[in-house]
Copies of this chain bind each other. A is one copy, B any other.
Amino acid sequence: MLDTAPLSDSSNLALGRLRALLDEGSFDAGQRLPPERVLAAQIGIGRRALRRALEVLEAEGRIWRHQGKGTFLGPRPVHSPTGIEELSSRTNPLEVMDVRLEIEPALARLAALRASNGDTERLLRIADKIASSTDADALELWDGALHRAIAEAAGNTLLLAIFDMVDRVRQDVGWQVLRERARSRDRQSAYVEQHRRVIAAIAQREAHAAEQAMREHLELVRDGLLKVMTRPPLNEQKLSSVTLPNSKDKLRHGT
């Protein structure tokens, strides 16, 4: 028990009354208590004293409060993250790459098994676009399009939704710098070749080969990401006047 500043008299009174109310089960579990103003009047104390008592109960985990909603009994319900923003604030690039390494090889395998001819044609068209792209931005776009086209070709609605969710997290603010740095020029050729292999395997219905090719590709991407993360500074020094667009203004998207 950590005795912090002791409560004043009337607050203690309120605390006792509240504990009595809670213990006697006057209110159902998970139920919302009356508004503070009402409750204070019922007990016969001021709102401030009541609030101090509620703070204690909240710290004890017996109640939880939220502005605009009310005061509720029981532990605060676990917040199942449904928003992308919140999710991406709780994860990190390495976790994302781990997930991609679990999901996307499976997607490639399924695509090899179930892709329609139209799907494969679309993949080949995107591959052409990638090969003929010079701009870094354009390449990034077509790369994303390729991965998603494979996910679509896999023909599983739920898996596609999962892929989109991971992709939104991946594209969320904060990691653009990393992604761009990870795309070092010398790796680009390797990426293109790996893409080619994945698409070829899918087109030829070689499920295992497609899965393996995608896994190798993502492992290379992950390694590139790791190298960048472990050496964040990347000082200019010798590369001062190199074309490097300095990652533009993509930083600071939000406030």
Contact = CB atoms under 8 A, between A and B. Distances in A.
Interface of A: 80-81, 87, 90-91, 95-96, 98-99, 102-103, 106, 110, 156-159, 161-162, 164-166, 169
A52 B158 CA distance: 37
A38 B103 CA distance: 50
The complex is assembled from copies of this chain, and their number is: 2
B165 A95 contact: no
Given A80-B164, A165-B165, A158 B102 contact: no
Given A98-B156, A156-B99, A161 B106 contact: no
A158 B91 contact: yes
B96 A106 contact: no
Given A80-B164, A165-B165, A159 B98 contact: yes
5 contacts: A91-B158, A95-B159, A98-B158, A99-B159, A165-B165
Contacts of A87: 157-158, 161
Q: Tell me which of A81, A96, A161, A169 has the highest count of chain B C-beta atoms within 10 A of its own C-beta.
A: A161
Contacts of A81: 161
A96 B158 CA distance: 7
Given A98-B110, A99-B159, 4 more contacts: A91-B156, A98-B156, A102-B103, A102-B159
